[in-house]
Structure 1
Amino acid sequence: MKNKKRIRYLLWIAIILLAISFYYLPYYVSKPGMAKELRPIIEVEDGYDEEGNFMLTTVRMGRANIYSYLIAKFSDYQEIYPMDEIKGEDETDEEYNVRQLHLMDSSKSAAIEVAYKKAAIPIDYQYNGVYVLNVVPEMPADGKLEPADRVFKVDELEFTSSAEFIDYVSSKKAGESIHLTYERNSEVEDVSVNVAAFNDPENKDRVGIGIGLVDDKELNVSPDVTVKTDEIGGPSAGFMFSLEIYNQLTAEDLTKGYEIAGTGTISPDGVVGKIGGIEQKIIAADKAGADIFLAPNENDAKDSNYQEAVKTAKDIGTDMRIIPINTFDEAIDYLENLEMKQ
């Protein structure tokens, strides 16, 4: 009888523990991810080979349950983020995923643009419209447009930038109707939407339809370049993409035989921007055997990624060199002056 009670008691404990593992808290937890060679991901047609490697660094991010929250709470290199720091207010999971994937697409485009310009290779731009990132609840577009829709005509007019689209819509008066032509799942559709005043105080004097948007444009280049990112989201790999693309475009091997990791956003003008999770990326790069880590310096800001990277590198006792980088050109100068690995 006592054994049966003990078994029943243990069974209830197991059920409760299992149920707790499926109960998610309003937090996200990030932890060290991986450092992955970029050569298998990026291929420039007839590109040059390299002796070393440029590496993409990542963090692992997921919703926190009670277990992962407690582990992160007592871990030096796991971070806890309130949900509203990761997802925007009222942003759905679908909108978040669309935003992350499009940020990755934008970072790829910027990386290609920077690398080909540096290599003095012409780029042909094709503007496809505006890409819907999110839809504001209770605004006119709510229920009519969806994240990932591509709007390419307004009142039968085509535009060459999202700024032109915004200016046209903003020129309307609240209550006026506009006709949108858009593509969803490879099918072209039409919808009429009334323009309305925004509800938030910052935009109270403006009108719109209530969508977050960015330019949807293609870069046509020769030689062709393929960047395979699958389901990877976010913009933080852009800088390292640009280095790998440029290295394959030019005869000089910038890796000089080193394993070179790094991180940072890249803008079309070559500025390297701050990212999240730099501490976890340093750990991932060190575990992968990187010799050098290129970190965004943000023009010597006291709280720059570079400063955080130096601190983490010291804490874990790595031999990896941490190099401050502000721009793509600055990174190229550093790599061109790097001595060959012995």
Structure 2
Amino acid sequence: MRWRRSGATSSLETSDAPSAAVRRRRPLFGRPLSALLLLLVVLGLVGQLVTLPFVVLRPGPAVDIIGRPEDGAPVVTVEGAKSYPTSGALYFTTVAQYGGPGRRPTAWNVLGALVDPDAELLRESVVYPPQVSEQAVREQNTAAMTDSQDEAVAVALSKLGRPVTERAEVAEVLPDSPATGALRKGDVITRVDDKAVGHASEITQRIQKSAGDVTLTVKRGGSTQTVPLTPVVRNGRRVVGVLIQPKFSFGVDVKIHVGDVGGPSAGMMFALGVYDTLTPGALTGGQKIAGTGTLVSTGAVGPIGGIAQKMVGAKEAGAGFFLAPRGNCNEVVGHVPDGLVVTPVETFDQALSAVEKAAAGQGASLPSCPGQ
């Protein structure tokens, strides 16, 4: 530090004292940085608070139907018939879903889905009807899971030659429909015109094929009644305005325990698991086989949603084979994980045959989706 005299004035100079120019520049660096940090904090909070009308699908867990989950209890239990030990795995696959009525994803969830190759982003309106409640969705998924289990047990027992009794029961009469005031919840439909029917798909087909009015024969309480109805066309289909639920009576008590999982898409794999449990030996031959698909009591396998995520979940579980509904082939092509053999099926018999071929070491001969 030194004094320097210049005329009548003097000044103090020191190497550790910032110059005026430096003092003026420092705020130019500090203020923008603080503003940027504040902006990032605000954007982070907004991203967490703002929700968007989308649904995010990601691979969910695969559950082994013939194994034992973490709690040690078997998924399939049987009373009234002999069950057999088995090996390998029959996985039903799931989708982890984020979003929907009452639980929309945040903006950050949506952005994350856009950059995740295993995620699928859908508009909420594509997945759910307008104004449906979260409670209604939960109830529908639970009912669909129960129905899928009943249908699966019916298919497996029928394949084994065990007695199965099915009836088509009215679960709901839709308001302002042809059936309003004519049919009631609990009515059992036994005939459409002069044709006997046993399940919902038959009733739907008969109504579609009819040219004019239809006459339903129903059992209500202890009486039988005939109910004439005039179908209306909605979304290109002839309908009378009832929801029909299949009801079954079995000679065997089969229970399927899957915890908090909803929806109908595990039906085909449930039927394979029940069939394996009730037959000697390992149906899979020790292989790990996964799949998905709805199933009705006629044995028909139907398409499902989220198959790309389900194939990823199957691969992550260690499955070597995957059974896919043929109706999903357009979504299978281009999305099959490396090392996973995917084969399409349309019926339970085809699914059973595919598992038996994989068990016998003939998995390479299984058919694939066109273009796969």
| TM-score, scaled relative to structure 1 | 0.70
Whether 1:214 aligns to 2:251 is no
Q: Which amino acid aligns with 1:24?
A: T
Give the aligned partner of residue 119 of structure 2: 78
How do 1:282-301 and structure 2 match up within 5 A?
Answer: 282-298=311-327
Aligned residue for 1:42? 76
Matches within 5 A, 1:260-339: 260-298=289-327, 304-305=328-329, 308-309=331-332, 311-313=334-336, 316-317=337-338, 319-339=339-359
Equivalent position of 2:141 in the other structure: 100
Map 1:159-308 → 2, pairs under 5 A: 213-215=243-245, 217=247, 219-298=248-327, 304-305=328-329, 308=331
Q: Unaligned 5+ residue runs, structure 1?
A: 141-149, 172-180, 182-196, 299-303
Instruction: Mark the runs of 5 or more structure 2 residues left unpaired by the alignment.
Output: 1-26, 67-73, 100-104, 178-183, 191-198, 208-212, 215-219, 221-230, 362-372
Post-superposition CA distance 1:179-229 (Å, at most 9, x none): xx9xxxxxxxxxxxxxxx9897979x98x7xx7623252x23233110123
1:60 and 2:96 matched: yes
Change (3 A) 1:9 1:265: same
1:113 is aligned to 2:154: yes
Please provide the CA RMSD for this pair. Answer: 3.9
1:69 aligns with 2:69: no
CA contact (8 A) 1:152 1:159 kept: no
Instruction: Work out whether residues 62 and 313 of structure 2, in 8 Å CA contact, stay in contact via their aligned partners in 1.
Output: yes
Question: How far is the alpha carbon of 1:5 from its aligned partner?
Answer: 11
Structure-1 separation of matches of 2:87 and 2:236: 52
Taking the aligned partners of 2:35 and 2:359, their CA distance within structure 1 comes to 68
Deviation by residue 1:131-150 (Cα, 9 ceiling, x = unmatched) = 34x966xx59xxxxxxxxx9
Deviates more, 1:54-63 or 1:246-255: 246-255
Identical positions, percent: 28
Aligned to 1:151, the other structure's residue is in SS state: coil
Is 2:48 the partner of 1:21? yes
CA distance in 2 between counterparts of 1:340 and 1:51 reads 14
SS of structure 1 residue aligned to 2:52:
strand
User: Cα–Cα, structure 1 residues 120 and 82, in superposed 2: closer, same or farther, change >3 Å?
Assistant: same
Aligned to 1:130: 170
In the alignment, what sits opposite 2:87? 51
**Equivalents in 1 of 2:286, 2:250: separation in Å?**
28
Say if 1:16 and 1:131 are closer, same or farther in 2 by CA, change over 3 A: farther
Instruction: Please give the alpha-carbon distance, in whole angstroms, between the structure 2 residues aligned to 1:272 and 1:28.
Output: 26
**For the Cα contact (< 8 Å) 2:61–2:93, is it kept in 1?**
yes
Which has the higher Rg, Structure 1 or Structure 2? 2
Instruction: Specify the code of the residue in structure 2 equivalent to 1:71.
Output: G
Distance 1:32 1:7 in 2: 40
What secondary structure, in the 3-state scheme, does the structure 2 residue paired with 1:99 have? helix
Change beyond 3 A, Cα 1:121–1:78: same
The structure-2 alpha-carbon separation of the partners of 1:98 and 1:130, relative to structure 1 and needing over 3 Å to count, comes to farther
Q: Deviations over 1:95-127 (max 9, x none)?
A: 322222222222112111110100000023466
Structure-2 separation of matches of 1:8 and 1:276: 45
The one of the two structures with greater contact order (alpha-carbon pairs below 8 A, sep at least 6) is 1
1:91 aligns with 2:121: no
**8 Å CA contact 1:257, 1:340 repeated in 2:** no
TM-score (norm: length of structure 2)? 0.65
Deviation at 1:331, TM superposition (A): 1.9
The one-letter code of the counterpart of 2:52 is L
Matched-pair contact (CA < 8 Å) for 2:78–2:252: yes
How many angstroms does 1:261 deviate by? Answer: 0.6
How far apart in 2 are the matches of 1:66 and 1:258?
42
* Distance in 2 of aligned mates of 1:55 and 1:287: 11
Aligned length: 287
SS in structure 2 opposite 1:255?
coil
Are the counterparts in 1 of residues 288 and 319 from structure 2 also a CA contact under 8 Å? Answer: yes
